[in-house]
Structure 1
Amino acid sequence: MTSTTSTTSTGSPSSTSSQQELFQFLEDRFACAQACTECARVCALRASLVDPDGTENQELVRRKGIMCAEVCDATCRVLSEQTQVDEEAIRVQLEWCRQVCLESAQVFDRQPGAEDSAAACRDCAKACGAFLDTLR
């Protein structure tokens, strides 16, 4: 006898025939929150290292770093808080974070010395995608 997993309004499994599904859900959610936290830290640091009066490319790096840090921080808070957030809102936040991280990684790729920032953004985008897959 098999049963399907449904989710509650908070985006967590409401019933499941397997504890492994619940564990996978929690692991993916935690991994995503961790990746978002790390990406926010790295992007904020990257933005702080750029000269505010620098070139147009440096300004783009600074703005992308700030935006990515803010979006990742907000995503981490959504995933970490126990407030009532519906599953659709979580999906939208995850997809937004994933997109911003991928865009930021592309900008950081063109900036010498920003390899760690680009990698953190890609890791975060991957974790957001994995958690989105868990929600589907």
Structure 2
Amino acid sequence: MTTTSPIPQVSQQELYRYLEDRFACAQACAECSRACAVRASLVNPGGGTPEELVRRKGVICAEVCDATSRVLSEGNQTDEETVRAQVEWCRQVCLEGARAFDGHPGAERTAEVCRTCAQACTDFLDTLAPSTP
């Protein structure tokens, strides 16, 4: 019986790093999802106010991070290009969320969690094979 790895022609060390980074990214996404959902629930909708922007960014970030965590948890069920696109989208949304939370009283921890998730996404993307145009 032949087994295949999720990344063709990689060393065992590269495979371990890939899996560790994938897990770290999924964990960061799950934590970011929870933090953003909590932060969004604490902000009262105000219709166009800065608080409403923070709430919306929190909801969007929570949803994207949750979806990314699920995609990464599926293992080999999703092709690499789909994973790459999802993780890149998550990275961008987390950075936008962090910027929205910056300077918002009480949201400093959430902004930091968003940045940590964005960095985990970047680290994971670095383990993937270069995309072809």
Q: TM-score, normalised by structure 2?
A: 0.89
Structure 1: gaps spanning 5 or more residues: 1-6
For residues 42 and 83 of structure 2, the distance between their equivalents in structure 1, rounded to whole angstroms, comes to 32
Structure 2: gaps spanning 5 or more residues: none
| Among candidates 34, 50, 69, match of residue 43 of structure 2 | 50
For residues 72 and 13 of structure 1, the distance between their equivalents in structure 2, rounded to whole angstroms, comes to 24
* Structure 2 residue 127 is the aligned partner of structure 1 residue 109: no
Structure 1 runs of 4+ with >3 Å offset: none
1:88-127, Cα deviation, whole Å (9 max, x unpaired): 1111001100000000000100211101100000000000
Q: 1:25 corresponds to which residue?
A: 18
For the residue of structure 2 that corresponds to 1:52, the secondary structure is: coil
* Structure 2 residue 119 is the aligned partner of structure 1 residue 126: yes
RMSD of aligned Cα (Å): 1.7
The 1:21/1:82 distance shift into structure 2, 3 A limit, reads: closer
**Counterpart of 1:19 in structure 2: which amino acid?**
Q
| Among candidates 14, 20, 30, match of residue 8 of structure 2 | 14
For the residue of structure 2 that corresponds to 1:20, the secondary structure is: helix
Q: Percent identity?
A: 66
Q: 1:3 corresponds to which residue?
A: none
**How many residues in Structure 1 have an aligned counterpart in Structure 2?**
126
